[in-house]
């Protein structure tokens, strides 16, 4: 490849995923934004919720590997060298971190919403 920059990457990823690309970007922004909002509103990490999110995150990691296997009509059992194991790790890690943050953010937002409704009542 001769011209590998962020613009090329964007163009290629957009071509690959279409609207899904923007949905994923929106999810990332929503997840990170919601996570930070929950952190600041609640004054720190809620350990119970974190554990629950991490459990969901573990499942998210496996789901990411499953989706990847479906899309590429192959699987991590085809891994043939160190870089493949790195890729398996990255996909699993991506799914784990993504789902953990997203579920923490969703639960945090629901909690904040509940609190504000309770205060109103």
Partner 1 sequence: MGDLSRRSFLKLTAATGATAAAPLTLNATAAEKVKTKAHIVIAGAGAAGLGVANRLANQLDGAKITIIDGKKKHFYQPGYTLVATGIKGSSYPTSGTSRYMPEGVDWIQEAVAEFDPVGNKIVTASGKAVNYDFLVVTTGMKLDYAAIEGMDVNRIGQNGLGSHYHSPDAAAKTWSAMSRFSEEGGQGIFLRPATEMKCAGAPLKFTFLTEHNLRRNGTRSKANLLYAAHSQSLFSVPIVHEKVRMLYEDRGIDTVYSHVLRKIDLDRKIATFDTPTGGSEIDYDFINVIPPMRAPDAVRNSPLAWRTGPFAADGWTEVDKYNLQHKVFPNVWCVGDIAGVPKGKTAASVKWQVPVAIDHLIAAIQDRTATSQYNGYTSCPLLTQYGRAMLVEFDYKNNLVPSFPGVIAPLEELWVTWVMKTMALKPTYISMVRGLA
The yes or no reply on residue 121 touching partner 1 (CB under 8 A) is no
Could you say which of 32, 51, 75, 93 contacts partner 1 (CB under 8 A)? 75
The yes or no reply on residue 43 touching partner 1 (CB under 8 A) is no
The yes or no reply on residue 68 touching partner 1 (CB under 8 A) is yes
| Gap between the Cα atoms of 73 and 88, Å rounded | 15
Largest CA distance in the chain: 62
Report the nearest approach of partner 1 to the CB of residue 69 (Å). Answer: 10
**Using CB under 8 A as the criterion, which residues of the chain lie in contact with partner 1 when the complex forms?**
1-5, 7-8, 11-13, 15-16, 68, 71-81, 83-84, 87
């Amino acid at each position: 490849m001769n011209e590998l920059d962020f613009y090329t990457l964007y163009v290629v990823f957009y071509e690959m995923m279409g609207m899904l690309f923007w949905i994923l970007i929106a999810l990332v922004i929503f997840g990170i934004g919601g996570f930070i909002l929950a952190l600041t509103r609640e004054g720190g990490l809620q350990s119970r919720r974190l554990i629950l999110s991490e459990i969901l995150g573990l499942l998210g990691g496996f789901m990411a590997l499953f989706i990847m296997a479906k899309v590429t009509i192959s699987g991590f059992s085809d891994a043939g060298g160190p870089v493949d194991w790195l890729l398996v790790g990255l996909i699993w890690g991506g799914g784990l971190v993504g789902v953990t943050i997203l579920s923490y953010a969703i639960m945090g937002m629901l909690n904040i919403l509940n609190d504000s409704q309770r205060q109103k009542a």
